[in-house]
């Protein structure tokens, strides 16, 4: 197995943390300046401008940090991730300039998730456990674990798109709620199966438990946000806080799902061609 310098793994975690802060700042911007919202937009433009400024600043810093990571690791995954980050920054700036147009805003949210996911993937493949090599498993389940490993992050990404579509008023919240049930069901099925079938596996078991826990928290936050929207104006402090937490935890859910998918395929394939070398 190829060895990596330990600093790459820790640095990738740091970049991922900064990217998560940028995502949360972006969620704050859209929560304060939603189309048709009005009250805060009219009463506190300084707060919106400040949130936009810090979102742009943090996002720019993350792209620079990602450039350093790409130079340090120099793999296709790292360079593709950097390209996604740059494109996302351009879209984000354009969205703000044009008062958050719906399509640009939705694409901005999706690219942010993919950018965050690329950084998390680098953190996974530079970890010490990855360098020790796979603990191979038999993929005899139907549907196969390989197929489910693709389905988990894909359906979470769809959930992100539906959530962003609701936030930008292109779809109703019902589609986001219905897909959330499918996300929860699929993740619980995969997580329970992995924990029961491979209770001693050094990476799949903890990754499965982590994904299940984060998803459960995300579902509770989604329900809380929905109730807050019923009880309070959508630009009230309570709704803004729960919305930002919901978006940030959604990103963590996608990251955990992607990490589990990578680990599943790594252990099924015996570590072949998943590091982006």
Residue 206 binned pLDDT confidence (cut-offs 50, 70, 90)? very high
Nearest-angstrom CA–CA distance, 115 and 107: 12
**CA 52 vs CA 92, 93, 106, 168, 223: distances in Å:** 10, 9, 17, 17, 27
Residue 91 has pLDDT above 90, yes or no: no
Token couple for 207 = 């990754």
Residue 51 binned pLDDT confidence (cut-offs 50, 70, 90)? confident
pTM of this structure: 0.88
Residue 261 has pLDDT above 90, yes or no: yes
pLDDT value of position 87: 93
Residue 277 binned pLDDT confidence (cut-offs 50, 70, 90)? very low
Token couple for 217 = 């928290």
Q: Where are the beta strands (DSSP E) in the chain?
A: none
pLDDT value of position 36: 38
pLDDT value of position 31: 82
Residue 34 has pLDDT above 80, yes or no: no
pLDDT value of position 170: 86
Nearest-angstrom CA–CA distance, 188 and 182: 10
What is the mean predicted confidence (pLDDT) over 109-117? 95
Cβ-count burial 178-206 (b if 16+ within 10 Å, e if not)? ebbeebbebbeebbeebbeebeebebbbe
Residue 96 has pLDDT above 60, yes or no: no
Residue with the bigger pLDDT between 270 and 256: it is: 256
| % of the chain surpassing 90 pLDDT | 55
Residue 122 has pLDDT above 90, yes or no: yes
Q: Cα-flanking dihedrals φ and ψ of residue 37, to 5°? A: -75, -60
14-18, 22-26, 33-37, 217-221 — which is least confidently predicted? 33-37
16-20, 143-147, 267-271 — which is least confidently predicted? 267-271
pLDDT value of position 6: 80
135-139, 152-156, 199-203 — which is least confidently predicted? 135-139
Residue 121 has pLDDT above 80, yes or no: yes
């Amino acid at each position: 197995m190829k060895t990596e310098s330990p600093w790459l793994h820790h640095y990738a975690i740091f970049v991922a943390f900064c990217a998560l802060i940028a995502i949360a700042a972006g969620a704050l911007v859209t929560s304060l300046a939603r189309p048709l919202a009005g009250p805060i937009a009219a009463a506190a433009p300084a707060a919106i401008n400040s949130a936009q400024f810090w979102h742009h600043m943090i996002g720019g810093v993350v792209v620079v940090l990602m450039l350093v990571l790409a130079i340090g690791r120099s793999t296709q995954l790292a360079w593709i991730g950097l390209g996604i980050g740059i494109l996302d920054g351009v879209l984000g700036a354009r969205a703000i300039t044009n008062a958050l147009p719906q399509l640009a805003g939705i694409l901005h949210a999706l690219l942010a998730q993919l950018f965050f996911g690329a950084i998390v993937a680098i953190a996974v493949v530079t970890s010490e456990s990855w360098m020790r090599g796979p603990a191979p498993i038999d993929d005899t389940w139907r549907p196969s674990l390989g197929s489910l490993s693709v389905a988990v992050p894909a359906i979470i990404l769809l959930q992100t798109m539906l959530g962003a579509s609701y936030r930008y008023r292109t779809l109703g919240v019902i589609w986001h709620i219905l897909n959330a049930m499918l996300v929860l069901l699929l993740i619980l099925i995969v997580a329970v199966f992995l924990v029961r079938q491979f209770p001693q596996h050094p990476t799949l078991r903890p990754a499965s438990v982590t994904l299940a826990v984060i998803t459960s928290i995300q579902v509770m936050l989604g329900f809380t946000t929905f109730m807050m929207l019923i009880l309070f104006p959508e630009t009230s402090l309570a709704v803004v806080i729960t919305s930002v937490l919901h978006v940030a935890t959604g990103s963590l859910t996608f990251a955990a799902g992607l990490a589990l998918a990578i680990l599943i395929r790594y252990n099924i394939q015996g570590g072949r061609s998943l590091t982006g070398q």
